Structure 1
Amino acid sequence: MADAVDADELLRRIRGARDWAIQEEGRLLAEAEAASGPDGAAVPAGAAKAFSVVRSVLDKIIEPGRDPGTA
């Protein structure tokens, strides 16, 4: 079984995951823009949306009272 982590370490890991989701979302959006035709852009755009949702959830964990529209 894995070792227990304290709250600071857990928050650090969540922030790292959020930063990674932001990075991947941006990369996939750029890939979708560079793709030729709507069919070529659909997969990266859909994946970018998934990372956007993950980022939104992690933002709510980090700052529960913050409006997601202000991020």
Structure 2
Amino acid sequence: VQKVYINLGYDASNQAKVKSIVRDYETASETWANIMSAETCGGLELEYVKKYLPNSYSSFLNIMKELK
């Protein structure tokens, strides 16, 4: 994993930095999954996403339009 991140241009010179990068990717992945779920199910979850993650939600909608 460390070699991959270094090749991508990240500072992965030690284990702590690699862990930090992995945490960032895991957090982003989980956020994206929650946005997709909220869009699919609607309700209070969708309102929360629109209120607290407006830029991410807008990006999600733009990507979905491109996929149609």
What range describes the TM-score normalised by the shorter chain of this pair?
0.3 to 0.5
**TM-score relative to the length of structure 1:** 0.45
Greater relative contact order structure (CA < 8 Å, 6+ sep): 1
